[in-house]
Homo-oligomer: A and B are copies of this chain.
């Protein structure tokens, strides 16, 4: 459980909140695509971390954290990521929302 919560630095930094509902009729290659996107994001300059979960009803939330607006632009422009976004629009999800945010303050706790 050591890396399921992102160990981000002191704010400010950026967060991309991607919330989605999976389309139950299109499962072909979804898991592999999601894993590949996580791997690609980790290699991207300015990547700070990612947190993700999906429940049994198909609701998923993935939050990725980025050091700067430049880092956000780099990830948005990544060609393989753009192709995954295209696939997301054509079947993997029935609905999604992407919100780009600036993290202003943060608090954490661990037992």
Number of copies: 2
Q: Does A63 contact B (CB under 8 A)?
A: yes
Nearest Cβ on chain B to A106's Cβ, whole angstroms: 5
Q: Does A6 contact B (CB under 8 A)?
A: yes
**Chain A interface, number of residues (Cβ within 8 angstroms):** 44
A interface, over-half SS:
strand
CA distance A52 to B55 in the complex (A): 9
A58-111 at interface with B (beta carbon < 8 Å): 59-61, 63, 88-89, 93-111
Q: Contacts A4-B59, A59-B53, A61-B63 known; A15 to B99 CB distance under 8 Å?
A: yes
Residues of A within 8 A of B (CB): 1, 4-6, 8, 11, 15, 17, 19-21, 23, 51-57, 59-61, 63, 88-89, 93-111
